[in-house]
C-alpha cells in the first residue's frame, strides 16, 4: 500500500522535517513513498529554499541521514490556486481562504480516492485556517487507514528557526535560541500526537466523493447527508425523491419500494421472504396492484401478473430488492442509501421492512425541476 504524507507549509517549513522525523523514528515507523506540500507562493518559496535544495535542503539532509527511501520525483509542491488560476501569494482575505479551502479539499479527496493508499495528514504548519481545512477534508474523505497528527517539539526548540530535526549524535548540530544561547539539537524531543477524527466518508454521495465540488458546497452536502431521511414516491412520473436526490426507478423496483412504503404507512409488521419453492399469493396480489397503477393495463401489467400468477417466489423478491438497493447506492452512496433500503431484520429468521416512520414517507409529485437542482 502506498504511503503518503501531506503537510501544510507556510512560514515554518521546519514542521515538515519534524513530522517526517517523528514518523520514521517512532516504534511503528511510517516511511512515506510520497510527500505533498500544500502552500501559497510565500510558503512554496520558503520550502524550496530551506527544504528542497538538493545539497543544503533540510528535507534532503534528513533523507540522507536516515537513509529514507524517498526519491525527488515523489516530493510534490501543491500550489494553492485562486479562482483566477494563479497561485495565491498568501492567504489573508476571505476570498483567499475560500480558494485555499477548495485546493486543500481537492488534494485530500484525490489522494484518498485510491484504495491502495494510506494518507497521513499533518495539521502543523501553514496558517491556522489551512490546518482546519486539512483536518476537515480528512474527516470528509478519510478512510480507516488514514491518520491525522500534530507534531510537538521541546519548548526550547519550538521557535528556533534553525531547528529542523534532532541530530543523531551529541555535538553534531547546534542552534541558537532566541535568547542567544547555543543548544545541542541531540537532546531535542520531537513527538507526534495523533488526532482522532470523525469519519464521514461512508455517508457521502458518490458525486461528492468523485467530483470537483468546492469546500463550502461539500460541507453543505455532507450536512444534508445527515439530515432526517424523507422519501417521496411519485408513481405517475416513475421516480422518487430520497432526501434531496431525485431518482428515476424502473416500474418493477418502484412498485417493490411502494409496496413496502404502503406497509410502513399502515403500521404493518415486517414480512419474511418467500422460502424455497413456496409462492406467496398475498404478496403477489399486493405487489401487482401497485405495479398496475404505475404501468397501466397496456404497459406490461398482464405479463407481470402472469409471472406472479401463482404467487411471489424467493427469486423475484431477492432480485428485485437487490436491483433497487444497487440503484439507490449508486446515486446516494452506501450510507446515504441505507434509510431507503428494504432492510432485513433479525439474524436466523429474517423479516423485511422499509424502516422509515410514516411521517418520513409521502406519495406525491416529484417535479422535474428538482431532478437537476
Q: Give me the pLDDT at residue 263, please.
A: 96
Q: Give me the pLDDT at residue 213, please.
A: 81
Where do we find the cell 481545512?
133
DSSP 195-261: ------GGGS-HHHHSS---HHHHHHHHHHHTSPP-EEEETTTTEEEETTEEEE--HHHHHHHHHHH
Please, what is the average pLDDT of the chain? 89
- The whole-number average pLDDT for the span 153-164 is 87
Q: How far apart are CA 371 and CA 238, in angstroms?
A: 12
Which of 33-42, 137-146, 165-174, 320-329 shows the lowest per-residue confidence on average (mean pLDDT)?
165-174
pLDDT band of residue 287 (cuts 50, 70, 90) is very high
Where do we find the cell 524517498?
70
Q: Choose which CATH entry (3.20.20.80, 3.20.20.140, 3.40.50.10770, 3.40.190.10) describes domain 2-154+189-223.
A: 3.40.50.10770
Which of 18-27, 90-99, 140-149, 223-232 shows the lowest per-residue confidence on average (mean pLDDT)?
223-232
Say whether pLDDT at 1 is over 60: yes
- What is the per-residue pLDDT across 9-60, written as a single tens digit (0 to 9) for each? 988 899 999 999 999 999 999 999 999 999 999 889 999 999 999 888 999 9
Q: How far apart are CA 105 and CA 134, in angstroms?
A: 7
User: Taking a C-beta distance cutoff of 8 angstroms, is the pair 38, 107 a contact?
Assistant: yes
Q: Give me the pLDDT at residue 274, please.
A: 94
Q: Give me the pLDDT at residue 170, please.
A: 87
pLDDT band of residue 373 (cuts 50, 70, 90) is very low
Q: How far apart are CA 216 and CA 108, in angstroms?
A: 15
pLDDT band of residue 176 (cuts 50, 70, 90) is confident
Strand partners, 79: 39
Which of 57-61, 209-213, 243-247 shows the lowest per-residue confidence on average (mean pLDDT)?
209-213
Say whether pLDDT at 93 is over 90: no
Q: Give me the pLDDT at residue 214, please.
A: 84
159 vs 331, which has greater pLDDT? 331
Say whether pLDDT at 212 is over 80: no
Q: Give me the pLDDT at residue 368, please.
A: 67
Task: Identify the three-state secondary structure at position 320.
Answer: helix
- What is the per-residue pLDDT across 304-342, written as a single tens digit (0 to 9) for each? 778 888 999 999 999 999 999 999 999 988 888 999 999
- The whole-number average pLDDT for the span 333-356 is 89
Say whether pLDDT at 301 is over 70: no
Q: How far apart are CA 299 and CA 210, in angstroms?
A: 37
Q: Give me the pLDDT at residue 372, please.
A: 43
User: What sign has the CA pseudo-torsion 206, 208, 210, 211?
Assistant: positive
- The whole-number average pLDDT for the span 279-284 is 95
Which three cell numbers, joined as nine digits, stand for 208?
461528492
Spell out the domain ranges in the chain: 2-154+189-223, 229-372
Amino acid at each position: 500500500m502506498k504511503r503518503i504524507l501531506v503537510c501544510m507549509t507556510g512560514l515554518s517549513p521546519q514542521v515538515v522535517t519534524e513530522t517526517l522525523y517523528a514518523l520514521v523514528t517512532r516504534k511503528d515507523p511510517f516511511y512515506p513513498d510520497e510527500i505533498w506540500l500544500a502552500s501559497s507562493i510565500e510558503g512554496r518559496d520558503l520550502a524550496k529554499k530551506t527544504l528542497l535544495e538538493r545539497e543544503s535542503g533540510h528535507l534532503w539532509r534528513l533523507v540522507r541521514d536516515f537513509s529514507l527511501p524517498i526519491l525527488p520525483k515523489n516530493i510534490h509542491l501543491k500550489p494553492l490556486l485562486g479562482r483566477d488560476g494563479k497561485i495565491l501569494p498568501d492567504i489573508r482575505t476571505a476570498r483567499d481562504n475560500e480558494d485555499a479551502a477548495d485546493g486543500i479539499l481537492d488534494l485530500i479527496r484525490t489522494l484518498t480516492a485510491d484504495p491502495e493508499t494510506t494518507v497521513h495528514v499533518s495539521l502543523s504548519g501553514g496558517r491556522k485556517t489551512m490546518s482546519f481545512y486539512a483536518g476537515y477534508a480528512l474527516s470528509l474523505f478519510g478512510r480507516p487507514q488514514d491518520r491525522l497528527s500534530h507534531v510537538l517539539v521541546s519548548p526550547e526548540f519550538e521557535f528556533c528557526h534553525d531547528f529542523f530535526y534532532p541530530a543523531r549524535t551529541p555535538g553534531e548540530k547546534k542552534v541558537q535560541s532566541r535568547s542567544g544561547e547555543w543548544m545541542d539539537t541531540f537532546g531535542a524531543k520531537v513527538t507526534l500526537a495523533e488526532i482522532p477524527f470523525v469519519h464521514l466518508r461512508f455517508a457521502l454521495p458518490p458525486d461528492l466523493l468523485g467530483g470537483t465540488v468546492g469546500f463550502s458546497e461539500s460541507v453543505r452536502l455532507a450536512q444534508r447527508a445527515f439530515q432526517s431521511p424523507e422519501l417521496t414516491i411519485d408513481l405517475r412520473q416513475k421516480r422518487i425523491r430520497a432526501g434531496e436526490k431525485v431518482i428515476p426507478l424502473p416500474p418493477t423496483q418502484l412498485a417493490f419500494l411502494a409496496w413496502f412504503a404502503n406497509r410502513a404507512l399502515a403500521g404493518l409488521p415486517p414480512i419474511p421472504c418467500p422460502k424455497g419453492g413456496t409462492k406467496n399469493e398475498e404478496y403477489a396480489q399486493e405487489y401487482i396492484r401497485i405495479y398496475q397503477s404505475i404501468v397501466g393495463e397496456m404497459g406490461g401489467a398482464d405479463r407481470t401478473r402472469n409471472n406472479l400468477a401463482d404467487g411471489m417466489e424467493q427469486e423475484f423478491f431477492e432480485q428485485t430488492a437487490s436491483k433497487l438497493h444497487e440503484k439507490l447506492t449508486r446515486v446516494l452512496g452506501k450510507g446515504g442509501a441505507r434509510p431507503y433500503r428494504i432492510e432485513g431484520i433479525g439474524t436466523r429468521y429474517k423479516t423485511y421492512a422499509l424502516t422509515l416512520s410514516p411521517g418520513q414517507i409521502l406519495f406525491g409529485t416529484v417535479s422535474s425541476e428538482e431532478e437537476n437542482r
